[in-house]
Structure 1
């Protein structure tokens, strides 16, 4: 019989729980600094100071700053995708273009929350290879998600490659619009941004959706 000793605890938490807590504190500190001053301001010493931990706990969890930045990005990206998935689920009885309109509205709202972590995904990442790769992955993952959601509504016999390319172009264009809007290069309010993007979606949808779906 395999009899294992119970895990030792300190302050009511096991060693694994304490390590997970330290890791969470380091990621949270990195995100706070990132939001305040940009990704380049995220340093090992700065993160440890913000988290109230010494250097050895940083290297207990991360090989270097790039790994921490990647983990922090992944956490925010997962949160945003989960948030948008809830919007899709809550509007599942509506038409696909109405679902998309709701998702666009939520994506814009996430960028207007001044303390919202979603702003990190559209901030400046030039100079960080790890973040540039993740930004590209976010674009392709978003394309995959949207094509999967739209697939049951499409006309029979469509060109699948053309549909994916159009979806990729639409999402990429939306990300660039959001980035320009966030930076102040595009001087419109959130409502106009949502409605313009939704109108483009209708135009793109016309090539792949049945007329009755386009008309709602």
Structure 2
């Protein structure tokens, strides 16, 4: 018979280890949001998390591995939020769903952790790789969501290029908005992104899919 795991303070070693990992990621995320990814250091994260340095290496071989873990957690959170929007409104027209998703993305940019995905990541190989992978995953997700509504015989390569440009341009617009390069209201971003999506929709989507408020 397997002996029960020993506990300290009512928690097993595995639970305490998981808690320390959560604290390190949370501390790194706080520092990143306050001062950018370059300010995230092993010593600073451990100080913020009130943990000994050795606990950092219990979970991460180096800072880049921690930065990647923070990115992955935020991506999981953001994709979860946007996927929930889509799932809750599947009875609506595709462009209506997209507008709702864009609205949520803009809201997350100004009030949530999502803005770290739009930071300047120049100088960090791991974050640049994560950014490229996220762009690819976002493109694949949007294509898969739109596929049931595509016109017959759509040029798949042209459609992918258009989606890639749309998502990349939207990301750049959010970054410019956050940095103050362009001074507009959140509603203007939603309206403009929706208008651009509608223009693309007329090229690739079935006419019936372009009608709003379908139930």
Per the TM superposition, whether the score is higher than 0.5 is: yes
C-alpha displacement of 1:164:
1.2
Count of residues in correspondence between the two structures: 212
Q: How does 1:1-216 map to 2 (within 5 A)?
A: 3-113=1-111, 116-216=112-212
Contact 2:143 2:163 in 1 (8 A): yes
C-alpha displacement of 1:215:
3.3
Give the TM-score taking structure 1 as reference length: 0.96
Q: Where do 5+ consecutive residues of structure 1 fail to align? A: none
C-alpha distance in 1 between matches for 2:206 and 2:74 = 35
Q: Please give the secondary structure, in 2, of the residue aligned with 1:4.
A: coil
C-alpha distance in 1 between matches for 2:72 and 2:7 = 30
Q: Which has the higher contact order (CA 8 A, sep 6+)?
A: 2
CA RMSD between the two structures? 0.8
Q: Please give the secondary structure, in 2, of the residue aligned with 1:207.
A: helix
C-alpha displacement of 1:171:
0.4
Runs of at least 4 residues of structure 1 off by over 2 A? none
C-alpha distance in 1 between matches for 2:148 and 2:206 = 11
C-alpha distance in 1 between matches for 2:65 and 2:44 = 15
C-alpha displacement of 1:211:
1.7
C-alpha displacement of 1:153:
1.0
C-alpha displacement of 1:204:
0.8
Contact 2:93 2:211 in 1 (8 A): no
Q: Where do 5+ consecutive residues of structure 2 fail to align? A: none
